[in-house]
Structure 1
Amino acid sequence: MIGLGLACSHAAGMFRPPEAWQQWMIDRVAPGVFERYPEARRQRDSLEVCQDLYRRIHDGFDEMRKEVAAYEPDVIVFVGDDQGDLFNLSNNPSLAVYIGEEEMWGHQGYEWNVPMKDRSVVKFNNHVDVSTDLAHGLIKRKFDVSTLHRFNPQGREGYGLPHMAARIAPELDPSGQIPIVCVLLNEYYEPLPNGERCAELGSAIADILNRREEKILLVASGGLSHYPSDRDFNRGDIDTPLDTWVMERVEKNEVEELSKLFSFDSAAMRSGTGEIRAWISVAAAMNRPGKIIDYMPVHACFTGIAFAKWPALVAAGGTNDRR
């Protein structure tokens, strides 16, 4: 069953040293960002500010690791986007689950200044039983799932496993011993699921996985608001009011309110902000109040970075409640 839930951002800049942030901002953020956001100017002008934000990011990962270590999951199930790492536009499914036995491979985020094809490879084991059961269960619940029987990346050369899992799994389980399952939800490319469908997906995931004996950790990877592509919005813009609203709904377990997101098209809800869909799905699956660990608008990462948890339920006797 699902006992512990986590959610976090996965932006590339989170793994880049803060000493590189300021020049990265000068080189990459869109015109007008420094004029619109006093916080962006503070980050551009102060190494100390950048170092403090980097410390907070990795304090967030530390807290998540502690939750994982205390819970001791048998499997980690990720919900997040592909973003062209595994798929290309010749086949870009709305929803996919890898169910094969082959090892998955990808790259962690710290070798930021090395071309992707030359970075160290990190390997991940798929939990075949859980992933297969999840795929079959979703089909029974009227979700059209693309089932991947082989790990054969067709997206960006050398990327492999989507960074929603490849960057985050090593942070949660540095040993690499806990098998993972990837639920790949299209969050970038039209046509896109609305918030209601994402909430329905989360409820279905919970219905399936809560019938199993394994101790399951469910993770939303991505978000919050950000615009990594100049084609869609200004790189470096962060919608803090939207992020605050989402986090408040998570803490109040107001999934019905979250499900209203993405019900109409808006430039402000496109691009990376679409990764909030994973948070909606996991919030619906957990179906109880979450707790925000930290939030910070980091313009050097182009992202409203957030960490959240739904702590593991504890029985009266002090052990994890697996009823």
Structure 2
Amino acid sequence: MTAIVLGVGASHSTLMNTHWEKVVDTARAEAFRDSLDEVNRRLKELRPDVAIIVGSNHFRGFWLDLIPPFTLGVGEVVASGESGTPKGPQKTDPVFANDLATYLVEAGSEVAISARLQIDHGQSHAIQYLLTDLDIPVVPLVINVFAPPLPTLERCAQLGRRLAEAIEAHADGRTVAVIASGGLSHQLPWPSNWADPQDDDEKFMVDAWLNGRGEWERFDKRRREIILAAQPCLFEDFDRRFLADLEAGRLEDYLRLSTAELEEIAGNGGQELRTWLVMAAALGFAPGSTLCYSPMPEWLTGMGVGVIEPNTAGDTT
């Protein structure tokens, strides 16, 4: 039997790599970095055999010509390497990944598969900071969180529950860490409707999203400029409430929210919290622990880290 040894939720931002010197209150940034280090220490102690990284993709591996709701990397995994994140082929376990995909599809949770998946910082940030010095394969599970219509939060939770079943059904005795990368609240300067861009920047973004396949780097400089010019928009009250609900084992309550409602209370970047809900569902929505919350306007994001221990799964007392 295969077992989940730890569930992790962690925010990501490439500005952590490129704009550390612009942080005004370094204590907030250091607290977040230290919490990533703490997760890395825990994972080194647990020594999982594989890490499933549930994350997003910021139009470096997926494009408007084809975006499935859920995609599992079952073969080669190549990181794009933008902004100081890992670059190039990553260690993988195609047999295990394909077994997961087969179980999920047969259980009724259709996932697309990719035998050559390009990931970006939506997952490689976790590889860089959480899996440091851990020579283990990764299985990326990419959730569409940026190109509406998005999968409902309930569908994401269903995927997480069946992912846990798929892991348990794999009878080779290996251990697994389930890592969610993304969130917390933030607002990206992206068009709210890719079919109706409102200005030159939005038209450029849509062009990049539609025509970037195989040449995303051609668009990246101006993309970066647009993002860096954005005004921070964080929802700190929401972030703290979300993490408190993680601690109380109440993240299942968020499944009633629509895509529009989640964006209203957490920004369009808050749609990445689907990844946390997949992870929490895989851990039975058990109570967890918050390691850190650092509102980081310099990085445009509310940065948080939380964990769920599997030995509490199913115990809501």
TM-score range, shorter chain: 0.7 to 0.9
- For residue 86 of structure 1, the aligned residue among 46, 61, 65 is 61
1:119-178 deviations in Å (ceiling 9; x for gaps)? x73431121122111111111122221111234xxxxxxxx4221221211212223521
Which residue is 2:101 aligned to?
135
Q: How big is the shift at 1:225? A: 0.6
Matched, 1:147 2:147: no
Residue 190 (structure 1) aligned with residue 148 (structure 2): yes
State the 4+ residue runs in structure 1 displaced beyond 4 angstroms.
Answer: 263-267
Distance, in Å, in 1 between the alignment partners of 2:132 and 2:82 is 11
TM-score normalised by the chain length of structure 2: 0.79
When residues 251 and 12 of structure 1 are mapped into structure 2, their CA distance, relative to the original with a 3 A threshold, is same
SS in 2 for 1:84: coil
- Of stretches 199-208 and 142-151 in structure 1, the one that deviates more from structure 2 is 142-151
Moved more, 73-82 or 130-139: 130-139
- Between Structure 1 and Structure 2, how many residues are aligned? 270
- Asked if 1:15 corresponds to 2:12, the answer is no
Against the structure 1 CA distance between its residues 122 and 174, is the aligned structure 2 distance closer, same or farther, given a 3 Å change threshold? farther
Equivalent residue in structure 1 for 2:275, among 272, 275, 278: 278
1:36 alignment counterpart? none
Q: 1:235 to 1:199 in 2, by over 3 A?
A: farther
Counterpart position of 2:207: none
Q: Residue 263 of structure 2 contacts residue 270 of structure 2 at CA under 8 Å; is this kept in 1?
A: no
1:248: which partner in 2?
244
Amino acid at match of 1:149: A
Gaps of 5+ in 1: 22-46, 112-119, 152-159, 315-323
Distance change in 2, residues 1:146/1:270 (3 Å): farther
Do 1:71 and 1:312's aligned partners in 2 also have CA atoms closer than 8 Å?
no
Task: Measure the CA separation in 2 of the matches of 1:69 and 1:108.
Answer: 26
Q: Deviations over 1:78-134 (max 9, x none)?
A: 11111212111111111111111x3523327547xxxxxxxx734311211221111
Distance 1:168 1:109 in 2: 14
1:67-78 equivalence runs, <5 A: 67-78=42-53
CA distance 1:54–1:149, change in 2 (3 Å): same
CA gap of 1:14–1:261, structure 2 versus 1, over 3 A, is farther
Q: CA deviation digits over 1:187-242, x for unaligned, max 9?
A: 11111112211111111111111223211000000001101215449741111122
Q: More helix by proportion, 1 or 2?
A: 2
Query: Shift of the alpha carbon at 1:261?
Result: 2.6
- What value does the CA root-mean-square deviation take over the aligned residues? 2.2
CA 1:179–1:243: 2 relative to 1, 3 Å: same
Q: Take 2:122 and 2:262, find their aligned partners in 1: how far apart are those partners?
A: 24
